[in-house]
Amino acid sequence: MMDVNEMEKVEDGFLFSEVSQLGHEQVVFCHDEPTGLKAIIGIHNTVLGPACGGTRMWNYTNEKEALTDVLRLSRGMTYKSAISGLNLGGGKAVIIGDVNTMKTEPFLRRFGKFVESLGGKYITAEDVNMKTRDMEIIGMETQYVTGLPEIRGGGGDPSPVTAYGTYMGMKATAKKVFGSDSLEGKKIAVQGVGQVGMYLVEHLAKENAQLYITDISESKLKAISEKFGATVVGMDEVYDLDMDIYAPCALGATINDETLARLTCKMIAGAANNQLADEKKHGYMLLDMGITYAPDFLINAGGIINVYEEFLGNYNRESAYRQAENIYTTCLDILNLAENESLSSQDAAIQLAEKRITDIGKVRLPR
């Protein structure tokens, strides 16, 4: 639970106003003094099934920032699973702290006990700064964990499937924008070349795209540039590039008032979550600017698709890839719906996701 001192740091009324605004069912504050664990689990919606979503560890500036992140991320997971046809609800967890100094075995196992205490309402998985080995440790204390190594019957690293789904969404969007889904010769800026960004670059390089990459890690940039012939650009410089496609693959909110004034691309398709700083405002700004946006929670759904295959048992990676390939068709359907209804693509995607939740909700009760 959140203690009194922590409560005093949060603006009066902020907690319930945020939870109410985004429609969450439950928010769990986890605190353990001996290990130093501070975590928040957001359970957004369980109509379609148990809330599932990764745990990320980040050195947030304050608890309010962490809460805002987990609320947005867990809501995105609801839509991600719904639009992908999965029988899962939306959840997410954030752990507050320095991954380099705090992530010990007792720390992770204590988090696992908090997950176990929810009795299966939330199922955790990998996210930023969390690896398959961490899932193994968390799994020592809870059965409600996915993203385990393949040697243990799990799905392993979901990044390749996430990247493949993003690639499929990018190709579908290119088909809509350019009349062909070929990416050969297209000038594409990939912002963030972590696990997902790296695999995405590999797909794009095979199509002979003209690649630009940026990241906070100089070593990653050097390795990927040398391997795939990509041009390295500065973290801020990326927004001013003469590019056809902008692919945000790092943290969210990179599409905002300041960056939109600088972008000249024709389309945006990347793997980052919550790319729109304000999904209503910036979704429609993109529409007015003639920039086609591939909804992030759709095209980066490969990770949750991979997790779902593991959740069902008898994990099969080929099956995960086949389902991720369906993102291509769904993305085209959403872009066509948005055009026909004069909606932002984000609103069109949310509309379809909420329709499935409503329809299934007529025959199911929340868990």
Catalytic residues: 92
* Spatial separation of the C-alpha atoms in residues 98 and 25, rounded to whole Å: 29
Q: How far is CA 255 from the centre of its chain?
A: 15
For the chain, the C-alpha Rg in angstroms (whole number) is 20
List all residues 6 or more positions away from 339 whose beta carbon is below 8 Å from its beta carbon. none
3-state class of 229 per DSSP? coil
CA neighbor of 55 nearest in space, from 119, 132, 3, 128: 128
Contacts by residues 199-207 (CB-CB < 8 Å, ≥ 24 positions apart): 199/159, 199/160, 199/162, 199/163, 199/164, 200/163, 200/166, 200/167, 200/247, 200/249, 200/271, 201/228, 201/230, 202/163, 202/228, 203/163, 203/164, 203/167, 204/167, 205/229, 205/230, 207/182, 207/183
Give 160-192 as a DSSP string: HHHHHHHHHHHHHHHHHHHSS---TT-EEEEE-
* Spatial separation of the C-alpha atoms in residues 163 and 195, rounded to whole Å: 9
* Spatial separation of the C-alpha atoms in residues 256 and 167, rounded to whole Å: 23
Q: Encoding tokens for residue 300?
A: 């980066």
CA neighbor of 165 nearest in space, from 280, 55, 86: 86
